[in-house]
Amino acid sequence: MNPLGTGDPLRLGPYRLIGVLGVGGMGKVYLGRDDTGRPAAVKVLRPELAYDGHLVQRFVREAHAAESVRSKGVARVLGAQMEGGRPWIATEFLAGPTLDHAVESYGAFGNAATRALGAVLARTLRDVHAAGLVHRDLKPSNIVLTSGGPRLIDFGIARPEHGLTLTTTGQAPVTPGFGPPEQVVGRRVGPAADIFALGAVLTYAATGERAFSGDHVAAVQYEVVHGEPRLDALPPDLRALVAPCLAKDAAWRPTPDQVIKALAPPRNADSAWTSGALADDIAERERNASRLSALQGDGEPTQGSGLSGITGISRRKLIVGLSTGAVLAAGGGVVWWLSTGDGTGGSAPWEADLLADYEEGTPPPALWGPIRTGAHEASVPLPVRDLVLVTATNGDVRAYDVRDGERRWSADGAEPSAGTAAPAAHSETAFTADASGGLLALKTEDGSRQWTAAADVRTVLAADGGAVYVTTNDNRLRAVSVTSHEPLWTVSPPVRSTAERAVRAVTADGILVVYGSDGKVAGVAAGTGKTVWGPEEQGSGFLTPAVSDDTVYLGGRRLRALALADGKERWARPAAGAGWGSPALAGELLFAGDGAELKACKAVDGGVDWTLTLMNEGRVREAPAPQGNTAWVVLGERGTEGVATVDVRSGKKAWPPLRSGPGRWRSAVAGNRAFLLSGGELTAMPVF
């Protein structure tokens, strides 16, 4: 959670605002408290959108939809103001993991717990339908697990049962794999649509796998309409209950009452979220949220110091406990997921405590290290859950425990090229090249080989749920399916890629953004390999893009924000020095080197928040690594000048740059740790 900033309101209706929980496309969400100390999530429509009739109508619909449902299974609307320049909605504050995070962190639910979950959700859907609504977006990320049981959130696209039109042109009408066939093809949907989604949710809860999957969105939607659900991993008795929910014909699906009766969970089946590690997780988050709002003091907060009123306990620890995993329901249930950036999406048992304070000018002791890893000069530390991966000079991928630096496993790989030696990872799988140029998929838990594919790989670029993107030995761009393990497409890249300097790439929302050594950037359709925008001249090649939501940020001659879907420029800021380096995003700020300076720019418009000179000359090329209130910045054109540590609150150096002799520095952050790699040695440093 971030403190209130310039332009943020101090109070909305009866709610004193404490801090900023998140920012989305339609609005900003604040943590607030009323005069009794009760916390609330307060969503405010963006001022620039308050004049858009369609968006205001949708904002109003969110409030009315959630308000009309009388059920303890949804987040309650506490208040709303629809008139004036700042429309807002306040809802019950929910601090707990979503179902998808719970499954990822603690494993799939057992038979009894899945039945209990299904019964609660079916009762909630019965209440939603009784209010004359269809939720239309039931999925694991819209189910919050609280101490009082599962809660259904996000009524942003809920509509009356008789409503037909769901979205405006260009908006996705359904979450792939959870919406029913009739919703996929754009036909009228009724309550049975939510039952189909319930069946898909229960399959995921019980197995950890989706009922419908594919290499890309279109393939998943095709399976929903024409294919059969994958239910083999379900216990036979549960499969018999779930299968009817996933019927193609809505008329054949059961009603919520029939689902409730069929599930019939045994006594104490809700122990999955009332006892054990998951329950402890929920309880800790709820305690932190309650204490944070209760200990604000009686004075009004001021902008820029929204969390300064806490005394008697560690404010910093409370913020960490809240922000590393709180699911926040606001504006009829719109969810903001506040992640620590380690890929887990929440507070995990391997996370470190934030450094409570530091002595300015004096670096704190390392958490562990330096340890000898034999890492290649081009290797970049890759945190994946409780491990950090590096690539050795002989091509081995080596995994070290983030808590103590102990080596957990090593797996054979191909000798790295001159360009990059970093593997890519998605979920719990790491991808690298094997000695024969094949694509190798490793289970991150133990390094075991999951599969290999003949792909003529030179460099692994990126991975998502459908494919792994690589460059080949003849410098082409290729996508390899993570399900069939076959190449999906191979194309000549729209930007230059060489054996020594392969493209750098990121993937998000079906777009692979590639930045070439010729300083050009382009967007490639992840499903087909077709260039959908660009190439555009950006200058200063071999930089890595950054992506957040629907925007891609680029360094070069100008620091630019482009629409991810079509490459349209949203803003640009010329370089004052030798050129912008690779950017990194943290909350509402974008950090990037501008020549020898580090600048913090507002992600929304590129306005400079602060500037810090890091070197007398040279250039900061690599992306800073921000975490907490700290940013770790590798210095020099080739990263050989050490690592500066910056307090992002003040824009000042926390202590002198870390240097340990010649060698190229690389950095990564996750789980409140900074991982620094130089000369083959890996060190974990604390974050404040």
| pLDDT score for 367 | 96
Residue 241 lies in a domain: yes
Same domain, 211 and 106: yes
Residue 77 has pLDDT above 60, yes or no: yes
pLDDT band with cut points at 50, 70 and 90 for residue 621:
very high
Query: Domain end: 289, 309, 337, which one?
Result: 337
| pLDDT score for 332 | 30
- Exposure string of 249-268, with b = 16+ CB inside 10 Å and e = fewer, is ebeebbebeebbebbebeee
pLDDT band with cut points at 50, 70 and 90 for residue 436:
confident
| pLDDT score for 293 | 56
Same domain, 264 and 287: no
| pLDDT score for 638 | 85
| pLDDT score for 461 | 94
pLDDT mean across residues, the chain: 82
Residue 524 lies in a domain: no
Same domain, 181 and 262: yes
| pLDDT score for 83 | 57
Domain encompassing residue 113: 99-143+163-274
Residue 302 lies in a domain: yes
Same domain, 105 and 224: yes
Residue given tokens 């959670």 in the structure block: 1
Same domain, 71 and 127: no
Number of domains in the chain: 2
| pLDDT score for 533 | 97
DSSP category for residue 363:
P
What's the CA gap between 222 and 212, in Å, rounded?
A: 9
Residue given tokens 């620890």 in the structure block: 317
| pLDDT score for 154 | 72
Residue 242 lies in a domain: yes
Residue 354 has pLDDT above 90, yes or no: no
Same domain, 131 and 72: no
Residue 156 has pLDDT above 70, yes or no: no
In this prediction, residues 320-344 reach a mean pLDDT of: 33
Burial class (CB within 10 angstroms; exposed 0-12, middle 13-18, buried 19+) of 448: exposed
Residue 379 lies in a domain: no
Binding residues: 43
Per-residue pLDDT tens digits for 443-479: 998 999 999 999 999 899 999 878 899 999 999 999 9
| pLDDT score for 28 | 80
* CATH code, 117: 1.10.510.10
What's the CA gap between 398 and 384, in Å, rounded?
A: 12
Nearest residue to 548 (alpha-carbon basis) of 341, 351, 383, 334: 341
What's the CA gap between 206 and 210, in Å, rounded?
A: 10
Residue 48 has pLDDT above 80, yes or no: no
Binding residues for ATP: 43
Same domain, 292 and 255: no
| pLDDT score for 121 | 95
* CATH code, 35: 3.30.200.20
Q: How far is CA 478 from the centre of its chain?
A: 25
457-463 and 467-472 strand pairing: antiparallel
Residue 94 has pLDDT above 90, yes or no: no
What's the CA gap between 446 and 424, in Å, rounded?
A: 16
Residue 102 has pLDDT above 50, yes or no: yes
Same domain, 218 and 118: yes
Long-range pairs of 128-132 with CB within 8 A, sequence gap ≥ 24: 128/69, 128/71, 128/74, 128/152, 128/158, 128/194, 129/161, 129/191, 129/194, 129/256, 131/68, 131/69, 131/70, 132/68, 132/160, 132/161
Burial class (CB within 10 angstroms; exposed 0-12, middle 13-18, buried 19+) of 513: buried
In this prediction, residues 84-88 reach a mean pLDDT of: 70
Residue 612 lies in a domain: no
Share of the chain above pLDDT 70, in %: 82
Residue 676 lies in a domain: no
In this prediction, residues 55-69 reach a mean pLDDT of: 66
What's the CA gap between 305 and 18, in Å, rounded?
A: 9
- Exposure string of 274-299, with b = 16+ CB inside 10 Å and e = fewer, is beeebbebbeebbebbbbbbebbeee
Hey, is 434 helix, strand or coil?
coil
Same domain, 63 and 184: no
Same domain, 108 and 205: yes
Beta bridge partners of 626: 631
Same domain, 226 and 306: no
In this prediction, residues 116-124 reach a mean pLDDT of: 93
Same domain, 256 and 288: no
Residue 516 lies in a domain: no
Per-residue pLDDT tens digits for 623-666: 999 998 999 999 988 888 999 999 999 999 999 998 866 688 99
